[in-house]
Structure 1
């Protein structure tokens, strides 16, 4: 696959420096904004972006405290991060966009779709949950996820990747090394701030108010987010459909070629409004 061009910019939004990357499109599609997983810099989603239709414009960014973005003095909560993302889109000149959220970023995507329904045309949720009401993964996996060590020490990330990501990472050691090579850590504090953003947060009480067409994507071997959580999202969101992928937590990267067509079909669909034909009123006949 040929290397695609990304435009990198670091912008200042509400006192935060945000590193952004835009893959320009052809203007025929609504742009797609990516909310990435916890601790994950934007380069980690590039294999997924490369698998999407090259005419689709894609926006990625490092949230505060991750990658090339500045670390705030105090943590954001999800509503604050959603507001920051909306301001970033204003700065970059985008109006309505489609949104995909991955893992931790899936919670932020839910918050954005709920808080800014006029900005979010369609919603894609991948390997995520409704927050604190979720059915948790195995305790050993969650304990490893509670530490940023895998981002700070790449060798540690390679070692634990099969346990925490599951799926293809269990079978192919090269995947963990390739993933670790793209990691750009900005330290521990930003990771802990992201954990704080989700502390006590849940969307379960307002999921039924998300009106956007929603695609829910789940891995059937996901040690972090058990499949039942994705089924719950698809059940609670009124206009949602669920696709289960035969892989682990990072199926967007490991199965990009299979997942990208599903996403492109979903984004291309236009729901047809019902045509209500007026009842034909026959003129009264004279007796």
Structure 2
């Protein structure tokens, strides 16, 4: 039986940041979740519930989203990675495993690169290397660029099959359930998030990400075509790619199938190779 989330709003650099921690048993590094654009932390709850209840999980609303305050000036990914590190300090965490979803996958890459000692392992879900990505269809991206689906849930339900693909194409109830959990931070917070990613790319430093990395991709993702995830897995030295039979939000729609893959990855302790083992010498009597 997993413990309930502990919600706290903390003050950092003049910002109110809403955090949620699900306590664990301390056997494994906690999992820090970087959520998608415009997505408040409630939207990842179905995924968290599918994870091992003993795993400690940290989620938060980035500035301008959900219950966090909206800054008066825009920010970039390095600034957000620094804010995440400060948040971990405040909540008294040292090293964590990090998972980033979509827009949050870019922030997770930045965090792993800028704070390698804080990030033990990295999971990248439905994301890309930024500005150099192979884009989805223009109509899909145009709909994605607007916060309307978060501000007007009925519109979100209407366009969900087009922008999320996968199970959302087949089950209209999914879009309704998703929309019911949305807590909009308003238009400005959404535009600040778009600005954070404007012109950003990790392609020139992906080879410096040394953490063991699990890349998860949906095979029917209208927003992030699969080739982008293949590129990430190719450029990151210790990366494995796992393709899921679903769309952009497979972490939620296929939580029961994806959670065990992630738990297995997090539990693996990779042994360092012994380059020149000494032959064992049998002594004569």
Runs of 4+ in 1 over 6 A off after TM superposition: none
Is 2:68 the counterpart of 1:69?
yes
For residues 47-75 of structure 1, the C-alpha deviation after alignment (integer angstroms, 9 at most, x for no partner) is 00000000000000000000000000001
For residues 248-274 of structure 1, the C-alpha deviation after alignment (integer angstroms, 9 at most, x for no partner) is 000000000000000000001011112
- SS of corresponding position for 2:59: strand
Residues in 1 aligned to 2:69 and 2:280: alpha-carbon distance in whole angstroms: 65
- SS of corresponding position for 1:158: helix
Q: Which moved more, 1:267-276 or 1:197-206?
A: 267-276
Is 2:39 the counterpart of 1:40?
yes
- SS of corresponding position for 1:242: strand
Q: Which moved more, 1:219-228 or 1:270-279?
A: 270-279
Alignment of 1:126-137 (within 5 A): 126-137=125-136
Residues in 2 aligned to 1:163 and 1:72: alpha-carbon distance in whole angstroms: 31
C-alpha contact (below 8 Å) 2:3/2:23 kept by paired residues = no
For residues 69-125 of structure 1, the C-alpha deviation after alignment (integer angstroms, 9 at most, x for no partner) is 000000110000000000000000000000000000000000000000000000000
Match of 1:58 in 2: 57
Residues in 2 aligned to 1:75 and 1:3: alpha-carbon distance in whole angstroms: 37
Residues in 1 aligned to 2:248 and 2:279: alpha-carbon distance in whole angstroms: 53
- SS of corresponding position for 2:258: helix
Residues in 2 aligned to 1:26 and 1:238: alpha-carbon distance in whole angstroms: 31
Match of 1:49 in 2: 48
Residues in 2 aligned to 1:19 and 1:248: alpha-carbon distance in whole angstroms: 28
Residues in 1 aligned to 2:160 and 2:203: alpha-carbon distance in whole angstroms: 29
From the superposition, tell whether residues 96 and 134 of structure 1 become closer, same or farther in structure 2 (CA, over 3 Å). same
C-alpha contact (below 8 Å) 2:2/2:54 kept by paired residues = no
Shift of 1:278: 3.5
C-alpha contact (below 8 Å) 2:108/2:122 kept by paired residues = yes
Alignment of 1:1-287 (within 5 A): 4-275=3-274, 276-278=276-278
- SS of corresponding position for 1:175: helix
C-alpha contact (below 8 Å) 2:99/2:122 kept by paired residues = yes
C-alpha contact (below 8 Å) 1:4/1:50 kept by paired residues = no
Instruction: State the TM-score, normalized to the length of structure 2.
Output: 0.97
Residues in 2 aligned to 1:277 and 1:181: alpha-carbon distance in whole angstroms: 58
Q: What residue ranges of structure 2 are gaps of 5+ in the alignment?
A: none
Residues in 1 aligned to 2:136 and 2:260: alpha-carbon distance in whole angstroms: 29
Residues in 2 aligned to 1:13 and 1:91: alpha-carbon distance in whole angstroms: 9
Shift of 1:14: 1.2
Match of 1:284 in 2: none
C-alpha contact (below 8 Å) 2:29/2:97 kept by paired residues = yes
Shift of 1:277: 2.3
Shift of 1:279: 6.3
- Provide the aligned C-alpha RMSD in A: 1.3
Residues in 1 aligned to 2:196 and 2:158: alpha-carbon distance in whole angstroms: 27
C-alpha contact (below 8 Å) 2:99/2:105 kept by paired residues = yes
When Rg is computed on C-alpha atoms for both structures, the one with the higher figure is 1
Residues in 2 aligned to 1:96 and 1:4: alpha-carbon distance in whole angstroms: 21
C-alpha contact (below 8 Å) 2:2/2:53 kept by paired residues = no
